[in-house]
Amino acid sequence: MSTNAFCPVFDDDSPLVPPSLTEHSRKMKPAIRQVTERVFLAYGYADANSILLVGDDGVVVVDTTEDEIKARSILAEFRKITDKPIKALIYTHFHPDHIGGARGFVDQRDVDGGEVQVISHETLPDFVSLTMASGVAPILSLRNAYCFGAFLPIGAEGRINCGIGPDVVVRKASYLAPTRTFRESLDITVAGVRMHLLWVPSECEDEIVVWLPDWKVLCSAEVVQGECFPNLYAIRGTRYRDPRRWYKSLDVLREFPAEYLAPSHGRPVAGRKAVSELLTAYRDGIQYVYDQTLRLMNRGHTPDELAGLVNLPPHLANHPWLGEFYGSIANHVREIYQGELGFFQGDPTSLRATPPSLAAARLVALMGGRETVLTAARQALDSGDPQWAAELATLTIRLNILDMESRRLKARALREVGHSETAIQPRHWYMTAALELEGKLEKGATGGGNPDIAGLRPEVLLESLGPRLAAERTLDLHLVGAFEFTDVPATCGLEIRRGVAQFLPRRPERPDFAVRLERGFLADLLLGKLDPERQLEGLVLVEGREEDMRRFFSSFEAPDMTRVRLALR
């Protein structure tokens, strides 16, 4: 295992790890890499890079990594280069590995006092809020843990690396809200550093790059997503990432006369020819997968067929920045199908499909019963077809989710499939699913701490209660609540109306009850942290009946991850 104390990876030779994936880990040794006389890139200290721009009387930091502790380690290394004060932080997009270390670089007081600017695209704050308090936040948290191997140890059957960087373990995350935002572009000079910031939607809708015209350096954010094929779809769950927009944004980057590329993942690139070649190959890889998927869709191929048909040609597949180490092209083509056509593949039989458990029971009966199916699964595993073994074992698990013989068999099969996988997110998922099948995941585990959402805007917190409403219990209920917040100047409402919770941006005229509260109460309610016996402590009823208030809040469910079984579908 790597001796990287900042962000460990597994880089030993092992028959359980493809050699190309091991070699990918060996690239990730932590180092401060000098891009130019005034530009330095911290690589290998965290999943994401931080980039230091040294100005005349201060410095600018582009991206802050995912973790405050890692950020402090990077800052200590930057301080060996210069002791000039930080004048600005720039977030290239809203993902946690780019904003989570902010307080490791600067203090809130410096931001509040105007000594440090925090710059981003205008939509970043909304994306941060939506991510933290999203209606799918509970299940997305668990799926993230599966993708990034949060339940796995570092090792041959655990975490190898994060694909686009080393390990992504977060010990302490933080966030500083932007103080300056823009829509299309922003030309700004900070500490004598002249910068052109440009919106380039790609991996994220709020993605921006930083062009340094005086130094011919392009900070490419995640338009170039590290030394691997970009994640056109993340199996943890994302909205559609339009490949066409992505490669067109790369074409915008190709217009800059860049002599140096400083990415937010991966190592820097020097030389105008090398930068141009990389950007061209990267955009061609995306367009190739997108165009050929559409071409074969128009021939009538379904997503699972496409997964075996679309592959990069040799000149792209062998490119050092296009290896399948993060995502998987087989999964990307399925998402392109879904993004362009939706779930329906054309066979109307699927529109009212037999429920999976009932279909499994009928199939197992037709195949001769449980023992026959398990015998066939063992034979498939012994003959080198673990995928088919896993599919067969899934049928008997659907008959009885507590069938440990079937679960252990499927776990063995998934591990064997995972051993040959270079794309790190699917690999982690295979290994984690095996643990789940064996009953080795802690009950209710989510793979990470609760996000700090108490500082979000009240309207975001209130509106996020909608997906927590137990609709079946409120089909005959109509209650309107008014909320006056004591920690921020805000008053708004929420109306439960026969199975729907509608957010009201202003105080309702005739509420059934009104309460005063802090935002932290709603945050705890959303995160399921309130004790049911003391749930309404901290609320001050200023109008209406306590009975209505209690009935209102009892209509919302806390997230219950013990019911979610991702591997037992």
Which one of 398, 420, 442 terminates a domain?
A: 420
Q: How far is Cα 507 from Cα 427, in angstroms, rounded to an integer?
A: 50
- In the chain the first and final C-alpha atoms are separated, in Å, by 34
Q: Describe the strand order of the beta sheet including 180-182 as a list of residue ranges.
A: 31-36, 39-43, 50-54, 59-62, 86-90, 117-121, 180-182
Supply the range of the domain harboring residue 473: 458-553
Which CATH number do you get for residue 411?
1.25.40.880
Q: In this structure, is residue 74 part of a structural domain?
A: yes
Q: Are strands 86-90 and 59-62 parallel, antiparallel or unpaired?
A: parallel
88 in Cβ contact with 119 (< 8 Å): yes
Which CATH number do you get for residue 481?
3.30.1050.10
For the full predicted model, state whether its pTM sits above 0.85. yes
Residue 448 has pLDDT above 70, yes or no: no
Q: How far is Cα 293 from Cα 286, in angstroms, rounded to an integer?
A: 11
Q: Say whether both 265 and 409 belong to one domain.
A: no
Give pLDDT, residue 2: 59
Give pLDDT, residue 566: 80
- The DSSP-derived string for 465-510 is TGGGB-GGG-TT-EEEEEEEESSSS-EEEEEEESS-EEEESS--SS
Q: Say whether both 368 and 473 belong to one domain.
A: no
Beta-bridge partners for 22: none
pLDDT digits (tens, 9 = 90+) for 35-71: 999 999 999 999 999 999 999 999 999 999 999 999 9
pLDDT digits (tens, 9 = 90+) for 75-108: 999 999 999 999 999 999 999 999 999 999 999 9
Q: How far is Cα 167 from Cα 437, in angstroms, rounded to an integer?
A: 24
Q: In this structure, is residue 430 part of a structural domain?
A: no
Q: Say whether both 41 and 138 belong to one domain.
A: yes
- Torsion angles phi and psi, residue 40, rounded to 5: -130, 145
Q: How far is Cα 461 from Cα 48, in angstroms, rounded to an integer?
A: 29
Quick one: which of 452, 340, 394 has its CA closest to 103?
452
Q: Say whether both 55 and 102 belong to one domain.
A: yes
Beta-bridge partners for 42: 32, 50
Q: Say whether both 415 and 465 belong to one domain.
A: no
Q: Say whether both 277 and 368 belong to one domain.
A: no
Measured CA to CA in angstroms, residue 544 lies from 95, 469, 476, 512 at distances of 42, 22, 20, 6
pLDDT digits (tens, 9 = 90+) for 121-154: 999 999 998 887 778 888 888 899 999 999 999 9
Q: In this structure, is residue 440 part of a structural domain?
A: no
Name the token pair of 487.
């920690």
pLDDT confidence of 452, banded at 50, 70, 90?
A: low
Q: How far is Cα 37 from Cα 304, in angstroms, rounded to an integer?
A: 50
511 in Cβ contact with 544 (< 8 Å): yes
Measured CA to CA in angstroms, residue 287 lies from 163, 315, 390 at distances of 21, 14, 33
Residue 450 has pLDDT above 60, yes or no: no
Q: Say whether both 515 and 383 belong to one domain.
A: no
530 in Cβ contact with 524 (< 8 Å): yes
SS3 assignment, position 519: helix
Q: Say whether both 31 and 102 belong to one domain.
A: yes
Q: In this structure, is residue 252 part of a structural domain?
A: no
Q: Say whether both 361 and 510 belong to one domain.
A: no
Q: How far is Cα 406 from Cα 370, in angstroms, rounded to an integer?
A: 9
pLDDT confidence of 538, banded at 50, 70, 90?
A: confident
Which of 104-108, 249-253, 373-377, 440-444 bottoms out in mean pLDDT, i.e. has the lowest?
Answer: 440-444
Q: In this structure, is residue 514 part of a structural domain?
A: yes
Which one of 392, 420, 448 terminates a domain?
A: 420
Measured CA to CA in angstroms, residue 439 lies from 147, 427, 434, 445, 474 at distances of 18, 19, 9, 12, 36
Supply the Cα-derived Rg of the chain in whole angstroms. 26
Residue 3 has pLDDT above 60, yes or no: no
The owner of tokens 């860049």 is 258
Give pLDDT, residue 442: 75
Q: Say whether both 505 and 409 belong to one domain.
A: no
Q: In this structure, is residue 162 part of a structural domain?
A: yes
Give pLDDT, residue 149: 93
Give pLDDT, residue 445: 60
pLDDT digits (tens, 9 = 90+) for 307-321: 999 999 999 999 999
Q: How many domains does the chain have?
A: 3
Q: Say whether both 375 and 470 belong to one domain.
A: no
Q: Say whether both 89 and 151 belong to one domain.
A: yes
- The DSSP-derived string for 353-420 is PPPHHHHHHHHHHHHT-HHHHHHHHHHHHHTT-HHHHHHHHHHHHHH-TT-HHHHHHHHHHHHHHHHT
Q: In this structure, is residue 314 part of a structural domain?
A: no
Which one of 239, 271, 286 terminates a domain?
A: 286
In percent, how much of the chain has pLDDT > 70? 96
Q: In this structure, is residue 9 part of a structural domain?
A: no
Q: Rounded mean pLDDT of 450-454? A: 66
Quick one: which of 195, 192, 316, 188 has its CA closest to 247?
316
400 in Cβ contact with 568 (< 8 Å): no
Which CATH number do you get for residue 102?
3.60.15.30
